[in-house]
Amino acid sequence: MKTIHSLLVVVLGGFALLSICAFQADLPPVQADVTPTPTYDPLVEPPLPEHPTELELGKNLYWHWCMPCHGDVGQGLTDEFRGVWEPDHQNCWARGCHAGRKEDTGFPIPTVVPAIVIADKLAQFPSLQALADFLQATHPPQHPGILQTDEYHAIAAYVFTMNDRPLEDSTPTALPTPLPTSTMSLPPSNQGLSASTSTPFLVVGGALFLIIILILSVAMRKPKL
């Protein structure tokens, strides 16, 4: 009787383990925590660290002094770019703005502001210093030379990087057409995790089941005394 009772305990224990393994195998894959990517807003000021690099300083200065006319990515004052502004700021040449009238509060802005990120990569400027000197002599149009020399150099460095220009003094290699912007896609989160997680449980469950069968076989063949 004790032998039968022990065999029943072993069999029930084996089925319990197999049930646990099957339950683990059917569990849904664990989803990793994914931090959402902030929505890009060209009107939000780029952060400026306490001790910025020249490019960080140039990016922040570009946003303040250049972006309103030349665009957030150097595309120029296009209709699409003006569309991101508040409705009462989208028409730069309305009365009281930048049309050049006596009563206008803003400085005159040309009706066409060219792009500064172009195929020839600003080839007219053979060096970074040449662009910095040009900016200091002419920009901003309302107050040329108002910034410090190192600030103009920082803006020029940032504009060079926007055009994929090296920061050392060199003449760029012009491209026939702009390079397409590549899009990086993230792999699906944790796909295949369920199969990889359930495999060890199935292996252990199968091994336990075989051990139970062997124990039962030995117990049944044991001669009675």
Domain boundaries, the chain: 2-25+193-221, 54-162
Averaged over 66-87, what is the pLDDT?
91
Q: pLDDT tens digits for 89-141?
A: 888 877 667 666 666 667 778 888 889 999 999 999 999 999 999 999 999 98
Backbone phi, psi, residue 81, to 5°: -70, -40
Average predicted confidence (pLDDT) for the chain = 76
Instruction: Give the CATH number of domain 54-162; options: 3.90.1170.50, 1.10.760.10, 3.30.360.10, 3.30.1490.190.
Output: 1.10.760.10
∠ CA 75-79-82, nearest 5°, is 85
Q: What are the CA-CA distances from residue 101 to residues 89, 109, 112, 197 (Å)?
A: 17, 11, 17, 72
Q: Specify the pLDDT at position 40.
A: 84
Alpha carbons 182 and 185: distance in angstroms, whole number: 10
Q: What confidence category does residue 28 fall into, taking pLDDT thresholds of 50, 70 and 90?
A: low
User: Is the CB of residue 173 less than 8 Å from the CB of residue 120?
Assistant: no
- The residue ranking higher by pLDDT, 92 or 66, is 66
| pLDDT one-digit tens code per residue, 158-197 | 999 999 999 875 455 444 455 454 444 444 544 444 444 4
What is the pLDDT at residue 121? Answer: 93
Tokens of 114: 């060219």
Which is higher by pLDDT, 73 or 103?
Answer: 73
- Give me 90's structure tokens: 């989208």
The count of C-alpha atoms lying within 13 angstroms of the C-alpha of 20, restricted to the half-sphere facing its C-beta, is 12
Mean local confidence (pLDDT), 42-68: 94
Is residue 3's pLDDT more than 60?
Answer: no
Assess whether pLDDT exceeds 60 at residue 215: yes
pLDDT at 117: 95
List the alpha helices (DSSP H) in the chain. Answer: 2-26, 54-65, 67-70, 79-82, 128-138, 149-162, 193-221
